[in-house]
Amino acid sequence: MSRLLPYPLLATSLLVMWILLNGLSAGHLVLGAIIGIAASWAMTALEPAKPRLRRWGLIPGLFVTVMADVLRSNIAVASIVLRGRRGQRTSGFVTIPLELRDPTGLAVLACIITSTPGTAWVEYRSGTGVLLLHVLDLADEQEWIDIIKGRYERPLMEIFE
Amino acid sequence: MTHAADLPAWAALPTAFFLLLGSGLTLLGAIGLLRFGSFYERVHAPTLGTTWGAGGILIASMICFTVLQSRPALHEILIAAFVIVTTPVSLMLLARAALYRDRTENNGGVPAFEAESEGTDGEASPKSSDQKQTKGQ
């Protein structure tokens, strides 16, 4: 199984991408599967790190949480832009000590933080695991640390580690 | 565009709604980019355009072409996925470049570079290795 499909996730995503681009039909299903498997064989030469998903069940919940948060912060940032009054809000940096070490998990966390308007991933130190965030509407530093650690980091650690 | 008249009203209304939502949010992001003061604040505004700004326009496109072609047009999902995956790369590049410039020019308002917290290389001071040991225990 692992010799035929060294990277099952990669092969599946390539197949899904092929179907989305070309439409669902039996011919494209076969062609997409061949391309997916061939590409994952080619990838074995590069030997990328294999992300291991431990708990699939948490992914939909995290996805829904992130979508809701993105929508909420879209509204929040849009209202900040519309109000346009400077001085009512303070923006600033927050340092967050992360326990998450898995590279794929960190990449997903970077995608989540970046796609949430109002928070920007500035710097991450892999030596200490300290993340530097910039927050547009910084009312309470501890609140943001709790949000990032509780809402995103904990489920990501359970999924990837 | 000539086919737009063929779109039934029940599909045209949500298409128009999502198109306006997406383009409106993108416009707000652009206004924010102009209005905000510092670089780090400015970086937040365009994320409106890359999240629900792009998302709204893509949802509108999906509704419109699914109804017009009477088969699901879902390849917009790929655009959304690639936008989400590639945005952090350019954002980190810009943010770290700005941070580096602010630190070397001592512009202030930026957290200082903590060389001792890096720890792993040979330049680390003995103080930091002590700290690491107590952390590990």
Q: Which domain holds residue A28?
A: 8-46
Do residues A42 and A68 share a domain?
no
Q: Rounded to whole angstroms, how far apart are CA atoms A148 and A65?
A: 12
How far out from the chain centre does Cα B15 lie?
24
Decide if A75 touches B, using CB distance below 8 A.
no
Across the range B57-80, mean pLDDT stands at 86
Do the beta carbons of residue A105 and residue A159 sit within 8 Å?
yes
A18 and A86 fall within a common domain: no
- Give the pLDDT mean for B92-114: 82
* Residues in B 5-44 with any Cβ partner in A closer than 8 A: 25, 28-29, 31-32, 35, 37-38, 40-41, 43-44
**Residue A71 vs residues A20, A64, B21, B22, B40: alpha-carbon distances, Å:** 25, 11, 12, 12, 21
Place of tokens 């003061």: B37
Of the residues A16, A83, A122, the best mutation for testing chain B's interface (the one with the most B CB atoms within 10 Å of its CB) is A122
Give me the residue label for tokens 């330049």: B123
What is the number of structural domains in chain A?
2
Q: Are residues A105 and A126 in the same domain?
A: yes
pLDDT of residue B2: 58
| Residue pLDDT, tens place only, A123-161 | 888 888 888 888 888 878 888 888 888 888 888 888 887
CA dist A129 and A125 (Å) reads 5
Same domain, A87 and A146: yes
Per-residue pLDDT of A47-60, as tens digits, reads: 777 777 777 888 88
Side by side, the strands of the sheet bearing A119-125 are: A92-97, A130-135, A119-125
A3 within a domain of the structure (yes/no):
no
Instruction: Judge contact between B85 and A107, C-beta under 8 A.
Output: no
Interface of B with A in 73-92 (CB under 8 A): 74-75, 77-78, 84-85, 87-88, 91-92
Average pLDDT of A14-37? 87
Same domain? A33 vs A74: no
Which residues make Cβ contacts (< 8 Å) with residue A32, sequence separation at least 6? A14, A15, A17, A18, A19, A22
Q: Which residues of A touch B32 (CB under 8 A)?
A: 77, 80-81
Q: What is the pLDDT of residue B118?
A: 44
Residue in B with minimal Cα distance to A118: B44
- CA B60 – CA B16 distance, rounded (Å): 7
For residues A73 and A150, membership in a common domain is answered with: yes
The predicted-structure confidence for B36-65, as pLDDT tens digits, reads as follows 878 888 888 888 888 888 999 999 999 888
Radius of gyration of chain A measured on its C-alpha atoms: 20
In this structure, are residues A66 and A117 in contact, taking their beta carbons and an 8 Å threshold?
no
Q: Do B71 and A71 touch (CB under 8 A)?
A: no
Find, in chain A, the residue whose alpha carbon is nearest to that of B54: A115
pLDDT digits over B12-29, tens only? 899 999 999 999 999 988
Predicted local distance difference test score (pLDDT) of residue A135: 87
Residue A48: per-residue pLDDT: 75
Please indicate if any CB of chain B lies within 8 Å of the CB of A132.
Answer: yes
In this prediction, residue B121 carries a pLDDT of 43
Q: What is the pLDDT of residue B59?
A: 92
The pLDDT value recorded for residue B133 is: 38
Q: Please say if the pLDDT value at position B69 is more than 70.
A: yes
User: Are A137 and A91 spatial neighbours (Cβ–Cβ below 8 Å)?
Assistant: yes
A80, A116, A122: residue with CB nearest B99: A122
What pLDDT is attached to residue B122? 39
